[in-house]
Structures are given as structure tokens and as C-alpha cells.
Structure 1
């Protein structure tokens, strides 16, 4: 699995002009699922998202607190394009991304695990497979790329 993690002051998702999900301070995570991903990858990513120290502590010392430490929110958006291969030609190749129906089940299981490991009401998501407009205010800016295979 791959994730692009962004520290945000606010983020939201719109589908067909309607806001379907929104968070305040926390993390916005784009989630990519590879056709070779396993439950082990899922567990690694859940742990990493919840425990990655992107936030300052009470004395404003950087990289001291996680989203979990500070009781913040997480917005996840499924993003198969994280597995694009662009080495040949100008058209992206997505054959490494998990197939849609299998990916949907896998992604929902990932969200369930995230909710079980944290607070369900703090975990928001977009709409799997939909064309979405994702907005965010990236604080820092802080953007981290995670690959569970590395």
C-alpha cells in the first residue's frame, strides 16, 4: 500500500457538487492499493498513520505528537493513481493497482481497521470510485509518502 499523508488545518471531499466529508485539524491521506497488498500491509499502514509524529508538542517542539496523541481527525481518500507507471510513453499505466471490486473490499477493511484502532467518529473518507473534488489546507506544508513495501 502507498499513502500520501498531508498535515492539514482543514480538508473536505465533494462529489457532484455536494460536500460529503470534512475534517478540521488532522491528516488527509490519499490511499493507494497494489494488486499484491495483503492484510499485513494494511496493518502496517494503520499503525503508521495513527502514530506518525507530524505535530508539535505543548512547547512547540516539532515532530513530537501524532494524530492519535492529539485526538485529531483523519480523512482518507482512495487513490488508485498512486500506482501509476509512467516510464513508457505519455499515458499512465495502472496495472499494478488492485482491481476495482477487490480494491473496494480491501479499502473498506482498511477503514474498519483504522476505526477499530482509533475513534470511529474521527475517521472520515471520500466515496470509493467516484470522481471527487478534494480540498485541503496543507499546514507546514508537511507531506509524507509511505510505502508499506519499503
Structure 2
């Protein structure tokens, strides 16, 4: 499971003219599910998102508080293209990405895991063409990979 985590001052997702998810200050998380992912990957990525110290502390110390400590929210967006492989040719291969049914189930498990923290979690729409609007804060962008490839 891969996640691209961005610290934002605000973010929203639209499907057509409809806003499906929106947050104020917090984390925008693009998440991709691999074929071999399972519940342990959900736990690993949820823990990293929940505990990542990427917000300024009350004393001004940079990278001192988590999204929970900072009172932020999470906007979760499914993105199978995080498993696009460009090593051969010019068109990405998505062979490493999970099948849609499996990916949806693990994506929903990840959302549930973060909501149980409790943490406010808004979402995009699984398998939809989405327009994501965000205001980066920093910018701070962190990569998480449950296979620990980076």
C-alpha cells in the first residue's frame, strides 16, 4: 500500500459539479492498493498517517505534532496510478495495482481505521474521475509504502 501524504491548509474533491469530500487544515492522502496488500498493510499505513509528526508544535518547533495533536482532518483519495510502472515503454503498466473489488475493501478499511482514532476523515469517490483542489502547507509531502520500498 502506498500513500502520498500532503500537509494542507484546505483541500476538496469534486466529482463533476459535486463536492464529495472537503477538509480545512490537515492531511490530503492519495492512497494506492497493491495486489499483495492485506489487513497488515492497512494497519501500517493508518498508523503512519495517524502518528506522522508533520505539524508545527505549539512552541513553534517544526514537525512536532501529528494530525490528531494538531486537531486536523484527513481527506482520503484513492489513486491506483500510484502503482503505475514506467520502467518499460511509454505507457504505464498497472499490473501491481489490486483489482478494484480488493482495493475498495482495503481502502474502506483504511478509512474506518482512521475514523476510529477518532479522526475526521472525508473521502473522494472510489473509481471516479475526480478533481482535487488543495492548498499545500509548506509544502510538506511524505511518501509511505507498507512494503518499505522508499
Scaled by the length of structure 1, the TM-score of the pair is 0.96
Stretches of structure 1 that go unaligned for 5 or more consecutive residues are none
Within the alignment, does 1:60 sit opposite 2:60 as a pair? yes
d(CA) in 2 for partners of 1:24, 1:127:
19
| Runs of 4+ more than 3 Å apart | none
Residue 116 of structure 2 is matched in structure 1 by 116
Matches within 5 A, 1:1-150: 1-119=1-119, 122-150=120-148
Across the aligned residues of Structure 1 and Structure 2, the Cα RMSD in angstroms comes to 0.8
d(CA) in 2 for partners of 1:118, 1:84:
32
Describe the SS at the equivalent of 2:63.
coil
Scaled by the length of structure 2, the TM-score of the pair is 0.96
Describe the SS at the equivalent of 1:117.
coil
Aligned residues: 148
Q: Deviations over 1:78-111 (max 9, x none)?
A: 0100001000111100010000111111111111
Describe the SS at the equivalent of 1:43.
helix
Stretches of structure 2 that go unaligned for 5 or more consecutive residues are none
